[in-house]
Amino acid sequence: MTNLLSLRGARLLGCLGGALLAAHFAFAQTPDPLPSSLAEQTALLPLDDITERTVVNEHRPLKYQPIRESDILWEKRIWRIIDTREKVNLPFAAPEAPLFTILSEAVLSGDVRAYSTENDRFTKPLAAEEVRAMLFKRDTIYTIEEGTYEDKLLIVENELNWEDVRRYRIRESWFFDAKTSTLRVRILGIAPLVDVKDAEGNFLYEKPLFWVHYPSARPLLAGKKVVSHGGNYASATTWEDLFEMRYFASHIMKENNIRDMRLQDYLTGTDLLLQSESIGNALFNREQDMWSW
């Protein structure tokens, strides 16, 4: 009797183990259900890195030190041109994160406000729709419809390529701070420049698309990484760092004057370059000239 019970118990345990094993294989072979929404699919994308990068995204710029008007003994407004084709300025046109893409996306999303180029004093804000009309051009084309071979009119939208923005105009203020006895500089605005051409593709002139108030855009630029020359992908240099530490090459195109004229309005060729360098040298020597011995 005891042997019979033991045999039955062994059979029962064997059947139970087989059922559990079969269930395990059944669940193992059942594929995971695919996410139904785009948000769920995006959340399940693999990490294209070795770790989460949060240093740049969480970086916040330091506030500017307050300056009293009575401490400003001398001031000059300067307009500069940054050419992205110069070697030191290559980060401005890095395909991974060009500056124009960062600014245009921020303006369209409402994170940064753009201003009209009627003047460079930020007096006329532009709506996102107005900026979008500058960045996206609508054209009409005729196509032949398959099957019926009938002409069909289509409206296509062409986006301005970031590679077409090769130069930037920046407006800055140089001033002597009596409180610290130093010559200081503050960038006031940035404007991307594009070429205007005729119907045959011949260059006519260069114009700014819009102005961005740099002090207001500092929080955005402080959270955007710069693709630097050094090849160190772990570098945490941001666009705000680049502008504040003057890691760019430029030439002066204008200084404040009574007639509000640019250098190219009254100078050409070598004289234009020499005058631009002369203004830059005067700024460099200004701090030394403020001291008396």
Residue 40 has pLDDT above 70, yes or no: no
The H or E element that residue 159 is part of is strand 151-159
Residues 218-234 have pLDDT tens digits of 999 999 999 887 778 88
283 φ, ψ to 5°?
-65, -40
Instruction: Tell if the pTM clears 0.75, that is, is over it.
Output: yes
Q: For all residues of the chain together, what is the average pLDDT?
A: 84
Residues 182-195 have pLDDT tens digits of 899 999 999 999 99
**DSSP states along 162-200:** GGG--EEEEEEEEEEETTTTEEEEEEEEEEEEEEEE-TT
Residues 56/238, Cβ–Cβ less than 8 Å: yes
**Cβ contacts of residue 91 below 8 Å, gap of 6+?**
99, 226, 227, 228, 229, 242
23 φ, ψ to 5°?
-65, -40
Q: Which of 267, 248, 135 minimizes the C-alpha distance to 190?
A: 248
Residues 117/208, Cβ–Cβ less than 8 Å: yes
Query: How much is the pLDDT for 2?
Result: 47
Q: Which of 98, 56, 52 minimizes the C-alpha distance to 240?
A: 56
**DSSP states along 206-256:** EEE--EEEHHHHHHHHTTSB---TT--TT---BHHHHHHTT-S--EEEEE-
Residue 293 has pLDDT above 60, yes or no: no
Q: Residue 210's Cα: distance from chain center in Å? A: 14
**Cβ contacts of residue 56 below 8 Å, gap of 6+?**
223, 224, 225, 236, 238
Residue 10 has pLDDT above 70, yes or no: no
Give percent helix, percent strand, percent coil of the chain, each to the nearest 5.
Answer: 35, 25, 40
CA-CA distance, 113 to 215, in Å (whole number)? 11
The H or E element that residue 93 is part of is none
What distances in angstroms separate CA 195 from CA 10, 110, 139, 202, 240, one per listed residue? 87, 26, 19, 10, 26
Residue 29 has pLDDT above 50, yes or no: no
Query: How much is the pLDDT for 235?
Result: 84
Residue 163 has pLDDT above 80, yes or no: yes
Q: Which of 88, 100, 57, 67 minimizes the C-alpha distance to 193?
A: 100
Residues 75-130 have pLDDT tens digits of 999 999 999 999 999 999 999 889 999 999 999 999 999 999 999 999 999 999 99
Higher confidence at residue 167 or residue 57? Answer: 167
**Cβ contacts of residue 248 below 8 Å, gap of 6+?**
82, 88, 89, 92, 242
Residue 156 has pLDDT above 80, yes or no: no
